[in-house]
Amino acid sequence: MGIATVNPTTGLTEKEFEPHSSEEVQARIAESAGAATRLRATTYEQRAAWMLAAAEILDDEANSLAELITVEMGKPIAQSVAEVQKSAKAMRYYAENAEAFLADSPLQDPAAVGASQAWTRYEPLGAVLAVMPWNYPLWQVIRFAAPALMAGNSGLLKHASNVPQAAIYLDTLFERGGFPAGSFRTLLIGGGEVAGVLADPRVKAVTLTGSEPAGRSVASIAADHVKKAVLELGGSDPFIVMPTADIAEAAATAVRARISNNGQSCIAGKRFIVHTEVYDAFAVEFAERMADLVVGDPLDPQTEVGPLATRSGRDELAELVEDARDRGAQILAGGTIPDSKGFFYAPTIVAGLTDDMRLVQEEAFGPVASLYRANDREEALRIANQTSFGLSSAVWTRDEEEEGWFMKNLEAGAVFINGRTVSNQELPFGGIKRSGFGRELAAEGIREFCNLKTVWKA
């Protein structure tokens, strides 16, 4: 299947789309480059007005857009509505804060560098390519597009091929808000064509959210052409529970952390590492709550877990669980493919894991939790840090010294204490190790695709 909407709830193809021709791709790159020149000449005030108007459109169309998202990738409808609302909120955030984030910064003692004045300023780079995934088909794009456009850049989107209707919606959103034609353009192309777009001299930088192999490929191409890249790749986030934690609250939050977005989130808690003193109590509570989840049609408001987005994703997840089962792991909940249409997988907990299991070595992208027992905090930290990923982490403890110890020693882009990881426009987001480099969101996110220019005046 090429570029198409395949409803994961039914497994049926609802719409197919012709890829853009090479001529159309070239025309869209040219349009984006031209828009970048025009945007560079506009004011923050003007761009903010356009961004706020686009956010208003999102809010007005939240219900229909949410249904489109659910049909294309399967998340429960309430979560789709929340995604639309969160995206509009981020657009308003950057409309209101971009100018301050990118304000000139004067050197306090210009005489120290032999100048009468010296300062730094942020300037846009131009057309920026975004290669985006299907799991948050609106939010992943908006959290790049809102800051990029507010900085004066234009955007080109290569979206995942299984969410083409979301991509087409985004193609016109900003123009409908008032931005110049071409300020944001969707490219309906396959992954094999990304290299040619990124190599084009009119494209100045790239951001990618996706798999590690995709990130390696894009980073390599960007390096060949000496272009800025920001990568947000996979995650296998630890969720550590220590003896002083509120076990009932930790278990309830662990369920939400694991099954949000049907478990298809890079920053979801995936590896639940529990101190031996509270392991049994946590395991019972966790398993009961996972087993009680309502799995079904994501358009039904009562549904808590919908299907995985693709058949291949569901099958790969099942293979990870079966590999662990074959090697001696215990299945505390789930571990089955429901007898129904669509790409469903039962919410699952796997315990008794050993390092030779694929589930330990690879990211589980779906409602499957890995449960570990740790004898002390040092062992909990070792398990947490043994993965090649380093996106985010969570620690449950009411011991302040212990909080500080984990905060300092966890190898991750973020640490959430007594909560679960979420992305917020006010906080920088990104990882270390094989989870990528660079940051999205907050002030750091808008500065990624700007030239930090030093100015010296005699």
For the residues of 284-316, what is the DSSP string, one character each?
HHHHHHHHT--BS-TTSTT-SB---S-HHHHHH
Q: What is the pLDDT of residue 446?
A: 98
The pLDDT of 47-58, averaged and rounded, is 99
The pLDDT of 401-421, averaged and rounded, is 98
Q: What is the pLDDT of residue 448?
A: 98
Q: For residue 112, is pLDDT > 80?
A: yes
- Burial per residue of 244-280, b for 16 or more beta-carbon CB atoms within 10 angstroms, e otherwise: ebebeebbebbbebbbbbbbbbbbbbbbbbbbeebbe
The pLDDT of 427-433, averaged and rounded, is 98
Q: What is the pLDDT of residue 41?
A: 98
Could you give the angle at the alpha carbon of 90 between the alpha carbons of 436 and 87, nearest 5°?
85
Amino acid at 381: L
Q: Distance (Å, rounded) from C-alpha 326 to C-alpha 329?
A: 7
Each residue of 309-332: pLDDT tens digit?
Answer: 999 999 999 999 999 999 999 999
Q: What is the pLDDT of residue 397?
A: 98
Q: Distance (Å, rounded) from C-alpha 131 to C-alpha 261?
A: 20
Confidence band of 1 (pLDDT split at 50, 70, 90): low
Each residue of 330-374: pLDDT tens digit?
Answer: 999 999 999 999 999 999 999 999 999 999 999 999 999 999 999
φ, ψ at 426 (rounded to 5°): -80, -10
Q: In the numeric block, which tokens belong to residue 388? A: 């090649």
Q: In the numeric block, which tokens belong to residue 272? A: 């639940």
> What size, in residues, is the chain?
458
Confidence band of 152 (pLDDT split at 50, 70, 90): very high
Q: Which residues are catalytic?
A: 232, 266
In whole angstroms, how far apart are CA 307 and each of 260, 323, 366, 441? 12, 21, 9, 29
Q: For residue 45, is pLDDT > 60?
A: yes
Pairing of strands 154-158, 127-131: parallel
Q: Do 345 and 354 touch, CB atoms closer than 8 A?
A: no
The pLDDT of 385-406, averaged and rounded, is 97
**Mean pLDDT score of the chain:** 98
Q: The whole model's pTM is what?
A: 0.97
Q: Do 264 and 309 touch, CB atoms closer than 8 A?
A: yes
